[in-house]
Amino acid sequence: MEKVPTEVGDLVGRFAQVIWHVLEFLWSWSFGQIVAMFRLPLNSLPLWKQILFGLVLAALGYMFHKISKDLLKAVQSMIGATVGFFTAIIGMMPQIVWAGLIAFGGAWIMTNMNPSWIPAALR
């Protein structure tokens, strides 16, 4: 039965690794295509290809703008989640201190007090 969580963890790890490799491949391929487009000899191309080059540049500019907006949203979400996490931790501090004080008081009473009014059967 102990092997099941280990096997599930291994499976999830391999799945994440495959996804990472696919993302890495797509990133490298896309960046390579963009770099290859900028290496084209623009001066020696016919006018219609230069116009197409300008349209492709405009489309790439739009895509970079859209990607940067999405990335900014993701960063804002991560920062918001981090701030929310630390806010929750700080908000729990009084309760954590109270739990510590209760434990400290209970331990102190159990080790230091032996009241005479408690029946001998309970001592």
Q: Which residues contact 53 (CB under 8 A, 6 or more apart)?
A: 37, 40, 42, 45
State the pLDDT confidence band at 64, using cuts at 50, 70 and 90. very high
State the pLDDT confidence band at 43, using cuts at 50, 70 and 90. confident
State the pLDDT confidence band at 15, using cuts at 50, 70 and 90. very high
State both tokens at 42.
Answer: 């623009």
The rounded radius of gyration (Å) of the Cα atoms in the chain is 32
Q: Distances from the Cα of 12 to the Cαs of 25, 73, 95, 109, in angstroms?
A: 20, 27, 36, 50
State both tokens at 64.
Answer: 């970079």
Query: What is the structure's pLDDT at 17?
Result: 96
